[in-house]
A and B are shown apart, each in its own frame.
Chain A
Amino acid sequence: MSDSLNQQTGGLSDNSETQITRRQTAVYVYEAPVRLWHWVTVFSVIVLCVTGFFIGRPLPTMPGEAIDNYLMGYIRFAHFTAGYIVTIGFIGRIYWAFVGNSHSRELFLPKLFSGKFWKEVGHELRWYFFLERVPKKYVGHNPLAQLAMFFFFVIGMTFMIVTGFALYSEGMGHGSWSDQLFGWIIPLFGQSQDVHTWHRLGMWFIIVFIMTHVYVAIREDIMSRQSLISTMVGGWRMFKDDRPD
């Protein structure tokens, strides 16, 4: 980790004295597009979960004539719009992994074949089980977070987008672009009803991710040696002490 730390600070300090220039306390981690994407996704996923929940279990019946109401229509419209935004954002985020800084790739490529990576995952696990007194410093995500991000978020969102557009293709009809791209998902799961069920299970998967993600972010912000929440707002990672990791 100290390597990448030095790389990050390299531009700001003299390379020959990297051991001493650890006083460096702020690193620019999340570039503006990543931060924008993060908060757009937060907003859209909340909309998707709420509207999705009520698509499966609609609100109590609306009074009055059908012509005066369009509640379910609006809920579904909001769901599909947020679905499009999340998807376009996700594609944009993948693009940014190619052109952004090294941290922009962490989300998609946890170093699953590196021994050091797994050692640090072990360290983080011990830290979360209260077996490790002092946490390590990380500029980007810690390895455990990278793993969780990859499996819960990247896989989870891909699943939701693919199943979501498969369901969407049913409304768009045979031969539509979403039918051609995603229509094959439906027989893969059995039938439309099964895709609905799995899409809904996927929502709970995402909800569990959100719960854990928010908790860990707040906890780490308080207990670890670096900033988290403000980093996703301003982009800069602050370190709370000057000791090596």
Chain B
Amino acid sequence: MSQIETFYEVMRRQGITRRSFLKYCSLTAAALGLGPTFAPRIAHAMETKERTPVIWLHGLECTCCSESFIRSAHPLVKDVVLSMISLDYDDTLMASAGHQAQDILYKTMEKYKGKYILAVEGNPPLNEDGMFCISGGKPFVEKLKYAAKDAAAIIAWGSCASWGCVQAARPNPTQAVPIHKVITDKPIIKVPGCPPIAEVMTGVITYMLTFGKMPELDRQGRPKMFYSQRIHDKCYRRPHFDAGQFVEEWDDEGARKGYCLYKVGCKGPTTYNACSTVRWNEGVSFPIQAGHGCIGCSEDGFWDKGSFYDRLTDIHQFGIESNADEIGTAVAGGVGAAIAGHAAISAIKRAQHKGDQE
């Protein structure tokens, strides 16, 4: 195995100046929530470390993760990380196709056995022996297991790989499952979102490439640096929420004034993601800023929680689709009627037996 290039060498080969490189390092340090003192450490790591190869697989998905990724705000981040990745294997982004591409996958896996990061976009459907997603003539689930075998770590891109997303929404005819249902013996980093924010994706990869370890994860396996707070915790409309000022209808005065979207179904209070801080498209905006509530796309099973425009969400457990208040008022109404009836009979009985007792 010949000498592998360092990140810095790759970047210089891409025509990036040293000045831009250092800028990139401080930007990354900030994005990762590290202090300014970390910028030189990142620079040092990138100058001296061999780059870590990444294999990027696509299962049942819509490619929105890739689309998001290549739109990463800082052009450098995109160029750098992308060049580092496409050097290896990504069947959507790479130039080669068919057997050629397949060959590259096998070669990369062999060459970097136990060292490469496996990034998975999409998920495997299990029904009919995995027939609903065929890649390279074989069910995707087999390719996934095969590539996972020798990976150092695995990244689950997007809500598909992390939770299942739309293809796993009920009734889930293809039996699509998140990748952690198939790969059980490897650490998996979930980067949910439909798609995840570009800077979050590059941030996670850069962290792993630079520090050679996984970022700190929360209980559900998401990197804490980007997923430890809810949209609601950092939403710029939050003062209107606390004040009790809401958009009641889409065309009302409140909507024009930019009031809180809670009543029209905003899922910001239950959604862990970085949209309200990092925002989208080079920090231009994010759904709430555009006047639409958060739909909770980075949360488990967000397709199956009823309308995006209702605050109270549907419950399926009771066979019918209704929310907690519909069930609650029905039950309380029934109990209330029973009490009234019971009270009436009690009164009659008591009147009948008056004087019976001693």
Taking a contact as CB atoms closer than 8 A, the residue among B246, B299, B339 that contacts A192 in the complex is B299
A212 touches B339 (CB 8 A): yes
Q: Does A223 contact B (CB under 8 A)?
A: yes
Task: List 27 A–B pairs whose Cβ atoms lie within 8 Å, in order of A's numbering.
Answer: A58-B263, A59-B244, A61-B248, A66-B243, A67-B239, A69-B243, A70-B244, A72-B243, A73-B242, A75-B244, A173-B228, A174-B218, A174-B228, A184-B219, A192-B230, A192-B272, A193-B267, A193-B299, A196-B270, A200-B312, A200-B324, A201-B315, A201-B328, A203-B324, A204-B332, A211-B336, A212-B335
Q: Which residues of B contact A59 (CB under 8 A)?
A: 244
Are B270 and A193 interface neighbours, CB within 8 A? yes
Q: Tell me the bound Cα distance from A75 to B262 in angstroms.
A: 15
Contact with A along B327-339 (1 / 0, CB 8 A): 1110110011001
Additional 7 contacts, C-beta under 8 A, given A70-B244, A200-B312, A204-B327 = A58-B244, A58-B263, A70-B242, A72-B244, A174-B228, A191-B300, A194-B313
Question: How would residues 208 to 245 of chain A score, 1 for a CB under 8 Å from any chain B CB and 0 otherwise?
Answer: 10011001000100110000000000000000010000
Taking CB as reference atom, which chain B residue is nearest A242? B358
Asked whether, in the complex, the Cβ of B353 is within 8 Å of the Cβ of A192, the reply is no
B107 at interface, CB cutoff 8 A: no
Q: Which residues of chain A come closer than 8 Å to B357, judged between CB atoms?
A: 241
Asked whether, in the complex, the Cβ of B339 is within 8 Å of the Cβ of A191, the reply is no
Question: A161-179 toward B: CB 8 Å interface, digit per residue (1/0)?
Answer: 0000000001101100000
Q: Does B68 contact A (CB under 8 A)?
A: no
Chain A, interface size category, equals: 35 or more
Q: Does B215 contact A (CB under 8 A)?
A: no
Q: Return the CB mask of B313-324 against A: 1 if under 8 Å, else 0.
A: 101000000011
Asked if A56 lies at the interface with its beta carbon under 8 angstroms from chain B, I say yes
Q: How far is the CA of A56 from the CA of B310 in the complex (A)?
A: 11
Asked if A71 CB lies within 8 Å of chain B CBs, one says: yes
CB of B218 within 8 A of CB of A56, answer: no
Q: Residue A115 at the B interface, CB < 8 A?
A: no
Task: Tell me if B292 counts as interface (CB < 8 A to partner A).
Answer: no
A143 beta carbon closer than 8 Å to chain B: no
Interface: B30 (CB within 8 A): no
A71 touches which of B219, B233, B244, B350 (Cβ 8 Å): B244
Whole-angstrom distance between the alpha carbons of A106 and B186 in the complex?
50
CA distance A57 to B349 in the complex (A): 42
Of all chain A residues, the one with the shortest Cβ separation from B218 is A174
Binding site for A on B (CB under 8 A): 218-220, 224, 228-230, 233, 239-246, 248, 254, 259, 262-263, 267, 269-272, 296, 299-302, 305, 311-313, 315, 323-325, 327-329, 331-332, 335-336, 339, 342-343, 345-346, 349-350, 353, 357-358
* Partner-B contacts on A (CB < 8 A): 56-62, 66-73, 75, 128, 130, 133, 170-171, 173-174, 183-184, 186-187, 190-194, 196-198, 200-201, 203-204, 207-208, 211-212, 215, 219, 222-223, 241
Question: Chain A binding site: helix, strand, loop or mixed by DSSP?
Answer: helix
| Contact (Cβ within 8 A) B220 A219 | no
A-side contacts of B270, CB under 8 Å = 191-193, 196
B313 to chain A, nearest CB (A): 6
Residue numbers in A under 8 Å from B263 (CB-CB): 58
Q: How far is the CB of A225 from chain B (nearest CB, A)?
A: 9
Q: Is the CB of A133 within 8 A of B353?
A: yes
Docked Cα-Cα span, A66 to B271, in Å, equals 24
Q: What are the residues of chain B within 8 A of A128 when measuring CB–CB?
A: 342
Say yes or no: A56 contacts B312, CB within 8 Å. yes
